[in-house]
Structure 1
């Protein structure tokens, strides 16, 4: 597998996709990633949805300190980034919705667990 090399350094571990800015010298893609996961409730929502699909009220119950408005904004941001998806369905003429991780969301969880392992091994106080 060919790896992308910039200035004699491997910049990413996958096939080169430089035309889509994966090898940005100023780490803009990493900053974008950090912005997503650094939103106050994003990681908690991702963690809950990693365990189970949830409706809005169930998520709000898990995140009691999060206002409904902030929860809606955070969910919409995660949907926009294709990390979670909203499923809408009908049951007995009542419309229900639930949220779950996408494949990208599950991949993100794997990356986050790697970061957690690294943090425990090297950054623990």
Structure 2
């Protein structure tokens, strides 16, 4: 069962990662970080049970689908919400609902998800 307010953040950019971690931790979240999808899967394999997963799509959009499929296939994690985001702009990214992310929007979504029954 996911732990309350534990968030797995998969973000390759150290500066973005630090900003998101600081913002989430400041609002009571326990943030586990991974620098890429492989590292994220390893963290999940090590028993990390997040309430929410945040995945950076900037360099991993195709691989992110495989990551989400792997999470969905795990009975322990199948209903854990996965939020995708990117700091990269552009019309195509905006059309896909990916870019650019607003930190306050992400925080609001994550904290809202952490308040649902699955996180209690």
Normalised-by-shorter TM-score class? under 0.3
Between Structure 1 and Structure 2, whose CA radius of gyration is higher?
1
The TM-score, its normalising length taken from structure 2, stands at 0.24
Name which structure has the greater RCO, CA cutoff 8 Å, separation 6+: 2
The TM-score, its normalising length taken from structure 1, stands at 0.24
